[in-house]
Structure 1
Amino acid sequence: MLTSWKTSYLLLFFSLWFVSPAHSQVGITVSPGRLYYRLPPGSRGSQKINVGNPTTRELEIGISIGDWDYDSLGNNISYPAGSIAKSCSQWIQVMPGSYFSLPPNQQQNLDIMLSVPADADVSVPVHTAMLYITQLNPSSAGSNINGASINITVRMGVKLYHSFEQQDNRDIEIIDFADKTVAADNKTKTPSLRCLDLLFNNTGKTWIEGKIKWELLDEKTGDKTKLEPLDFYSIPGDKRTVRKVLPGDLKRGRYNATAIINYGERDELKVAELEFDY
């Protein structure tokens, strides 16, 4: 008799907590989800992350390092360690080690040491890397309807950022603001959508955690419609398109759209406006 086995790998990026009601014995907690270093060439610094085991079984945990970047829409792209110009993956050391066992309901603190080479390329304002925390002994999630065994492996990621700058130097240049129609996708059964596309460049020298607020003004009636704000993350050199889908129940008419980008802790703002017919 041939036994069919199926392994399901669940990849969780940038989450601080994983809980599945159906698989209560599966999970890793990691905090924080991002580490920020401000160090000059030839120096080093250390920060801690906490890895927890909320399950009732011992977990075997492995630590690995990779690279990542954003695409033009702000999605995360993974790369092998040391394969991109802004990588700092070779500068990282995990202490006490990259492998450990974690008993049920216990936690482990890890020191993440970042050592900046004396000859580091200072023309790259921000270097990045990804720390992967992986459960090496898969947890059984039972069987599917065909009787195949399903195992789940959890992997979580912590983003690392390094800057030579000791002070924040943030700036954004708005390139374009336009209304677009996104064609329907028959494969995903997604209907055509009307959107606002805001294009900007990160022209500063440090990372940005920002928020974009959107407002529509009906030029005929004067009615205002506030859309849900969008959070975004960006690093220097990013050329970003942020897309906001217009409400399906928006009335026909001529509108003035306003997008307000808050990209700093000191209310650093950039504003874009657009007139369009809907």
Structure 2
Amino acid sequence: MLNKYSCYKIPILLVIFLGLCHFTSNGQDISISPVVMRLSGKPGEIINRVIYISNTGKSTYEFQVNMKDWKRDSLGNKLYSDPGTLLHSNANWVSFPETDFKLLPAEKKEFPIYIQIPEKIDPSMSTNSMLFITQINPFEKSTNHKALGIKVSYEFGVQLLYSPEKADVGTILYKNLEHVIDSVTKTSLVKISIQNTGTVHKNGVINVELTNKQTGEEIKLDPLSFAILPLDFQYIYFKIPTALATGEYLLIALLDAGKDTELKVAEKNIHVED
């Protein structure tokens, strides 16, 4: 008999490190895989998956497992809420045999999870949730002050993304490409607005190039990765280097959402002030 997950408030002292794959710190080493599970199946089916957890450190870790709903804000940051409270949540589909466990030094663990797809679901809309594995025996960490110490805990999140058979793949569209000035910092920015027209989760990379129309000099900004929810909008900002000379520039943004999608290109002429 499987236990349905339980959600607890965990008292984490002073410092929390949130990880989505692997950390190494002062000889402590925990790895968790996979960090994203893309799921598919028919209504009524039970999907079986395994999370692999290993401890190559010298300490024993104690973990607690619970579920959360999540969505993204307009900048792509995750916002969490109680399980089963968001419209497109699948947190209540998930069960696992234990809600807490210990991981001994050099131990490797296979943690099974079971996803029961309801008989009645929206046949075209993807759902999501996050499975958290949270350390509940924080470790002392020394500081430069003998009288002052902190305790460190680690937390890992595994995304569960379900896409039904009739989900619309859709595409990612540019909605706007702008040169803006931050009203507070006065920083010069490239602001890109994108839309996911599909009912599946998507991710990709955007590259931005600036070409000085007088000199022909090309400036490539560091690429930014993004992840976007179904039928969602998102804003992505690139910081323009402060050393960029005043002048007229051709701004080009290249959006790559994977091998099965066309490369999207957007262009705009802008004026940059030194």
Task: Confirm or deny a common fold (TM above 0.5).
Answer: yes
Residue in 2 that maps onto 1:101: 102
Find the aligned partners of 2:112 and 2:64 in 1 and give their Cα distance: 14
- Whether contact under 8 Å (2:128, 2:161) holds in the other structure is yes
Find the aligned partners of 2:151 and 2:216 in 1 and give their Cα distance: 56
Post-superposition Cα deviations, 1:165-224, rounded to whole Å, max 9, x if no partner, equal 37871401221110110133xxxxxx4210110101110122212111111121222222
Post-superposition Cα deviations, 1:235-255, rounded to whole Å, max 9, x if no partner, equal 212210011111121111111
Post-superposition Cα deviations, 1:52-85, rounded to whole Å, max 9, x if no partner, equal 2232122112111111111111111111111110
Find the aligned partners of 1:46 and 1:256 in 2 and give their Cα distance: 50
Post-superposition Cα deviations, 1:75-123, rounded to whole Å, max 9, x if no partner, equal 11111111110110000112x4222111112111112211110012335
After superposition, residues 33-112 of structure 1 pair within 5 angstroms as 33-94=35-96, 96-112=97-113
Find the aligned partners of 2:241 and 2:165 in 1 and give their Cα distance: 41
> Is 1:171 aligned to residue 171 of structure 2?
yes
> Is 1:255 aligned to residue 249 of structure 2?
yes
Amino acid at match of 2:22: W
Which consecutive segments of 4 or more residues in structure 1 shift more than 6 A? none
After superposition, residues 193-272 of structure 1 pair within 5 angstroms as 193-272=187-266
Percent identity, please. Answer: 28
Flag structure 2 segments of 5+ consecutive residues without an equivalent.
1-11
- Whether contact under 8 Å (2:46, 2:114) holds in the other structure is yes
Find the aligned partners of 1:7 and 1:60 in 2 and give their Cα distance: 15
- Whether contact under 8 Å (1:170, 1:207) holds in the other structure is no
Amino acid at match of 2:84: G
Residue in 1 that maps onto 2:151: 151
The count of corresponding residues between Structure 1 and Structure 2 is: 261
Q: 1:163 to 1:75 in 2, by over 3 A?
A: same
Residue in 2 that maps onto 1:187: none
Q: How far off is 1:267 after superposition?
A: 4.3
TM-score (norm 2): 0.89
Amino acid at match of 1:255: Y
> Is 1:8 aligned to residue 14 of structure 2?
yes
Q: How far off is 1:154 after superposition?
A: 1.1
TM-score (norm 1): 0.87
Q: 1:142 to 1:225 in 2, by over 3 A?
A: closer
What is the SS of the residue equivalent to 2:92? Answer: helix
Find the aligned partners of 2:18 and 2:196 in 1 and give their Cα distance: 27
Of 261, 274, 278, which residue of structure 1 is paired with 2:268? Answer: 274
* Larger CA deviation: 142-151 vs 225-234: 142-151
Find the aligned partners of 1:9 and 1:92 in 2 and give their Cα distance: 29
Amino acid at match of 2:169: N
Find the aligned partners of 2:261 and 2:173 in 1 and give their Cα distance: 16
